[in-house]
Amino acid sequence: MKQLIFVFALSVLYVSCKKDSSSNNVSHDIYVVGYDGQKAVYWKNGAQTALTNGPSGSVATGISVEGDNIYVSGFETLKSAYYWKNGIPAILATNTPGITSVANAITISGSDIYIAGGEENKLTGKHIAKYWKNDVPITLSDSNNYASALDITVVNNDIYVAGEEYNTSSHHAKYWKNGHSVILPDGLIATSIAVVDNDVYVAGYNMVTGNGGSIKVAVYWKNGVPVVLGDGIHASSLLDIFVQGTDVYVVGSDANANGYEIAKMWKNGIATSLADETHNSYAVGITIVDSDIYVLINDIDRNTNKRVIKILKNGIATALPATGTSYAYSLYVK
């Protein structure tokens, strides 16, 4: 999600899946975004579409589908944030010397397009969390701090953004509601956010001292109250969250005794392994449609570094066609 660190480069971002939780007894289209051969791509029902035709170094990070329109967020490495509508790119931030930008997640509400991301000033090293509404940027964080916006959702015209912010004295997972920040206790980074029946659910992780160093600990929050899932002995983190009724589903990874990070899903705190434990794997997205559970997984062989992107539907895996120098970030089922 390498270890899953947010950087302004071609690496594994914390990005979460966008969901369509509508229920009807028809076949569904499955969309996945990421990169293949270091070019931004999306897959629809296994068929790959390239979003860039120029030089390599682009990433597709998030996806939302409304009617016949496909919206994808992403960026060119060390350059500018983009989104694509039906494959046509739109630049969110100009390529100002010394300034780079990323777009990490996208959602559509009515006729409005919302994108979470941010900018980095290469001269000062500062990262500013932002979101864009219909291409207009809204700054969330103090320019004196490091901050990132990693996921976004809009509910009843309220805009929720998940991320992190830190300075020399503190580092906090947080979310912003309509621009006002809420610090999440016992958290370092918030990677995904969902709002259901006025309850705010956020997934992420904390960092604690253990095993002679710092250990990631998987945690999610309901209305700011932390639910710790990691044991503090083996590294764990959460990358996406989905809520259905009273059931809370989160996905991420949890390291085993051999040091491999294993893709897992937790339902109401009960963990299920989603891959074998002989190599690294990461569950990066989850959604539920018509009672079917879809999970997006990246398998990475530690020896060959070959990557296999898989979609699990009710535990049955389907691999997507890719070169092996690929990674998936987000899932959408419609």
Q: List all residues 6 or more positions away from 305 whose beta carbon is below 8 Å from its beta carbon.
A: none
pLDDT of residue 19: 52
90-129 pLDDT, tens digit per residue, is 999 766 788 899 999 999 999 999 999 999 988 888 899 9
Asked if 195 and 177 count as a contact pair (C-beta separation under 8 A), the reply is no
186-236 pLDDT, tens digit per residue, is 999 999 999 999 999 999 999 998 667 899 999 999 999 999 999 999 999
Helix (H, G, I), strand (E, B) or coil at 314: coil
Cα distances (angstroms) measured from residue 265 to each of 44, 148, 241, 275, 289: 24, 25, 10, 10, 16
Q: Give 23's pLDDT tier (boundaries 50, 70, 90).
A: very low
Least confident of 142-151, 236-245, 290-299: 142-151
pLDDT of residue 55: 60
pLDDT of residue 140: 97
pLDDT of residue 56: 63
pLDDT of residue 68: 95
Least confident of 32-36, 108-112, 192-196, 298-302: 298-302
Q: Highest mean pLDDT range out of 61-75, 197-211, 289-303?
A: 61-75
Helix (H, G, I), strand (E, B) or coil at 167: coil
Average pLDDT estimate for 318-326 = 91
39-55 pLDDT, tens digit per residue, is 999 999 999 999 986 66
Question: What is the secondary structure of 269-290 as a DSSP string?
Answer: TEEEE-S-SSSEEEEEEEEEET
- 165 or 169: which carries more pLDDT confidence? 165
Average pLDDT estimate for 227-246 = 96
pLDDT of residue 22: 44
Nearest to 131 by CA among 144, 121, 117, 143: 117
Q: Using CB atoms within 10 Å of the CB of residue 205, give its burial: 0 to 12 exposed, 13 to 18 middle, 19+ buried.
A: buried
- For the cut 80, the answer to whether the pLDDT of residue 304 exceeds it is no
Calpha distance 55→76 (Å, rounded):
10
Report the side by side order of strands in the sheet with 199-210. 189-196, 199-210, 213-222, 225-228
pLDDT of residue 2: 32
Average pLDDT estimate for 277-303 = 93
- For the cut 50, the answer to whether the pLDDT of residue 133 exceeds it is yes
Average pLDDT, the chain: 90
- For the cut 70, the answer to whether the pLDDT of residue 36 exceeds it is yes
Average pLDDT estimate for 56-80 = 92
